[in-house]
Structure 1
Amino acid sequence: MDDKELILVEHLDELRKRLIISALAFIIFLILGLVYVKDLYLFLMGNIDYKLLVLGPSDIIRIYFHVAAVIAVAGTIPVAGWQFWLFVKPALKPVERKVTLAYIPALFFLFIGGLAFGYFFIFPNVMKFLINMGNDLMTISFSADKYFSFLINMTLPFGIAFELPLVSMFLTTLGLVNPYKIVKLRKYVYLILVIIASMISPPEFFSHISVAIPLILLYEISIFLSKMVFKRKQKRYRVLNTFEEHEHISS
């Protein structure tokens, strides 16, 4: 086995270790979520003043796992971010290590912020609109499975989408993303985001727009922040190169 193959095997072993730790963290947080699932269930009931319907015994287990899984994802994000940082740390410069390390706690808070945005803003407005559409024509009642599936579809994508600005900054810092190249893909990204919004929201125009607009705004914020990091990085390199040239001439 030559040196390149040996290095590759070492990287794969390191990556497997980081993935295993992240998977174990997910399982631990999933168990914690199941322990407190009743409290979480009551919180997520929101303003509904009656019990939801259950159409089968398996629905109860499915709902409990859905709720606990969201908690597990939220708890695992900073752990996975930390493991990824440890994986790429040897390839980073000291300045890049300090900068990227600061992103890890922000990952968690942005995910929670995205969930809160979806839960307190998008979800109730879409629910109110849909209920008002059929309130005079039919009796409104929800099954627990349908309610929580709709709730997760309205909130979880925003938890993930709120990570986009930070992820774009992180990848730009590592030199893996050039924001000026991403801008050229804007019209295709808009189309993809609109398709995603139509897939995760109810099949009517108001819901599509309510979901698509925040996603597009997050994409634009990601580009803006990525450009700031890119320009700062380029400026740092120019200063460093000028200093090295000056030192070379002086010597």
Structure 2
Amino acid sequence: MSEPQEDSFISHLVELRDRLLRAVVAVVAIFVCLMPWAGDIYDILAHPMMSALPEGTKMIATGVVTPFFVPMKVTLLVAFVIALPFVLYQAWCFIAPGLYAHEKRLGLPLVVGSTVLFLAGMAFCYFFVFGTVFKFIAQFAPKSITPAPDIEQYLAFVMSMFLAFGITFEVPVIVIVLVKLGIVDVAKLKEARPYVIVGAFVIAAVVTPPDVVSQLMLAVPMCLLYELGIFLSRFVTKTRADEAVSS
């Protein structure tokens, strides 16, 4: 390897370190600012569950340090979500110089769109899914027991659901990328519709609790978002055709 190449490689590593450091500092700074309200932030996250529990019932913490660490984990997650635009901006600034002009035109909207869709999936899960699922489950609880969910298990459940719905809402982006890369076309996407519907319900049955409500609330949006991806892919196909004609 020649000396100019070594210098270029080292400069890329230095820039990567600086970008990562800025992103980490942003997350940590927001986390430190939010720490005094860590308990309130966890209460907001727990609100859908608390609304479904009998009046006067509280969640429990079985670990000695769990009441401290669980709210800290939630606060760190919130800090990362708030800092996400800045984190993605740092990532974009690092990779953009190595992209072609047409890749930049596609890359930036995909980054922004995928971020917005992931956050929309989390919001849909929090505001619509949690309340419905928790109330549905509470209706089947025997009268002889008093539900008292553990806060650590609740956090793990919430994180898995956020991840499942966040990824589900990425379906239009995945479909558009596949069409843009020429891997599939709109006609094949339409032909695959029955298999996608079956696959959506299978995935929903695997990643959600074993109740019909949560499975439907994941599978149905997945199918609708697939249709949205097909609709938007038509514009991507037209753009590719226009570029081919102009070239």
- Residues 8 and 129 of structure 1: is their aligned pair in 2 closer, same or farther, counting only changes over 3 Å? farther
In 2, Cα distance between equivalents of 1:31 and 1:180? 48
TM-score by length of 2: 0.72
In 2, Cα distance between equivalents of 1:125 and 1:27? 34
TM-score by length of 1: 0.71
Unaligned runs of 5+ in 2: none
- Residues 91 and 108 of structure 1: is their aligned pair in 2 closer, same or farther, counting only changes over 3 Å? same
- Aligned ranges for residues 104-115 of structure 1 at < 5 Å? 106-115=113-122
Unaligned runs of 5+ in 1: 242-251
2:181 maps to 1:180: no
SS in structure 1 opposite 2:243?
Answer: helix
In 1, Cα distance between equivalents of 2:33 and 2:114? 20
Q: Root-mean-square deviation (CA), in Å?
A: 3.9
Q: Is the 8 A contact 2:120 2:166 kept in 1?
A: yes
**Does 1 or 2 have the higher relative contact order (CA < 8 Å, sep 6+)?**
2
Q: State the partner residue of 1:245.
A: none
- Aligned ranges for residues 40-119 of structure 1 at < 5 Å? 40-46=41-47, 47=51, 49-50=55-56, 51-94=58-101, 97=104, 100-102=107-109, 106-119=113-126
In 1, Cα distance between equivalents of 2:94 and 2:169? 24
2:213 maps to 1:202: no
In 2, Cα distance between equivalents of 1:73 and 1:194? 31
Count of aligned pairs: 238
Q: Is the 8 A contact 1:26 1:73 kept in 2?
A: yes
- Residues 64 and 239 of structure 1: is their aligned pair in 2 closer, same or farther, counting only changes over 3 Å? same
SS in structure 2 opposite 1:207?
Answer: helix
1:127 deviation in Å?
0.7
Q: Is the 8 A contact 2:41 2:71 kept in 1?
A: no
Q: Percent identity?
A: 27
1:131 deviation in Å?
0.8
1:116 deviation in Å?
1.7
> Which is worse superposed, 187-196 or 9-18?
187-196
Q: Is the 8 A contact 1:197 1:212 kept in 2?
A: yes
2:242 maps to 1:236: yes
Q: State the partner residue of 1:27.
A: 28
1:108 deviation in Å?
4.7
1:123 deviation in Å?
0.9
- Residues 125 and 42 of structure 1: is their aligned pair in 2 closer, same or farther, counting only changes over 3 Å? same
